């Protein structure tokens, strides 16, 4: 993923997918808004379920020249011809993942709200680092990624950064000057028209 001056959209799938419906819904979003990358982020750890979803979404994404990465399933990414992996363990498995997937794969790392983990992941060779949640949520340890963290990162580190988690228009407006990508998922998928909801968030940039 290449960062531009204006933040780009990094789309995150719902944790569970109805494959009779979601691929068409995803296609409608991709056809209405420019998307930099999609992350398949399923709660299921059943390999068959994840593989079916990855096959379906890869067809939609690649038909539109949009990269598709998957959370943590390194070997599935390799087997299914996905564009890379989003690692949820900060820097711990970055080097091994790079050896497995090679130099051209997209490898990203979720580092919660921890500058040290972000630096470690960057030094290990990730293509992007993700911090979050940005907004208030009951998920995770409860610590939010601050504007100070993003401002420092954008001033000091060249590796692109993703802001994600409980975003709203106000937070997007605040973080837009200091992030390369917004990771948006739950914020739109519950809406009657996800593409319209996404456009509303983009306006806040």
C-alpha 139/C-alpha 192 separation (Å) is 24
Q: What's the burial of 43, exposed, middle or buried (CB within 10 Å: 0-12/13-18/19+)?
A: exposed
Taking the model in full, what pTM does it have?
A: 0.95
Q: What's the burial of 6, exposed, middle or buried (CB within 10 Å: 0-12/13-18/19+)?
A: exposed
* Number of residues that this document lists for the chain: 205
Domains (ranges, CATH) in the chain?
8-203 (3.20.20.70)
pLDDT of the chain along its 205 residues, tens only? Answer: 554 478 999 999 999 999 999 999 999 999 999 999 999 999 998 999 999 999 999 999 999 999 999 999 999 999 999 999 999 999 999 999 999 999 999 999 999 999 999 999 999 999 999 999 999 886 656 689 999 999 999 999 999 999 999 999 999 999 999 999 999 999 999 999 999 999 999 999 9
């Amino acid at each position: 993923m290449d960062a531009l001056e204006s933040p780009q959209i990094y789309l995150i799938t719902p944790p569970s997918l109805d494959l009779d419906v979601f691929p068409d819904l995803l296609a409608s979003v991709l056809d209405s808004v420019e998307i930099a990358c999609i992350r398949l982020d399923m709660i299921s750890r059943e390999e068959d379920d994840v593989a079916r979803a990855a096959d379906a979404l890869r067809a939609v994404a690649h038909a539109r020249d949009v990269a598709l990465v998957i959370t943590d399933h390194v070997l599935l990414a390799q087997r299914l011809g996905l564009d890379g992996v989003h690692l949820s363990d900060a820097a711990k498995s970055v080097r091994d993942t790079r050896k497995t997937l090679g130099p051209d794969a997209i490898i990203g790392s979720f580092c919660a709200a921890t500058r040290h983990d972000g630096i470690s992941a960057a030094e290990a060779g990730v293509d992007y680092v993700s911090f979050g949640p940005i907004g208030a949520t009951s998920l995770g340890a409860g610590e939010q990624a601050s504007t100070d963290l993003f401002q420092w990162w954008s001033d000091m580190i060249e590796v692109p950064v993703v802001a994600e988690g409980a975003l709203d228009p106000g937070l997007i407006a605040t973080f837009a000057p200091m992030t390369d990508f917004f990771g948006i998922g739950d914020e739109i998928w519950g809406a009657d028209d996800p593409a319209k909801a996404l456009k509303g968030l983009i306006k806040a940039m």
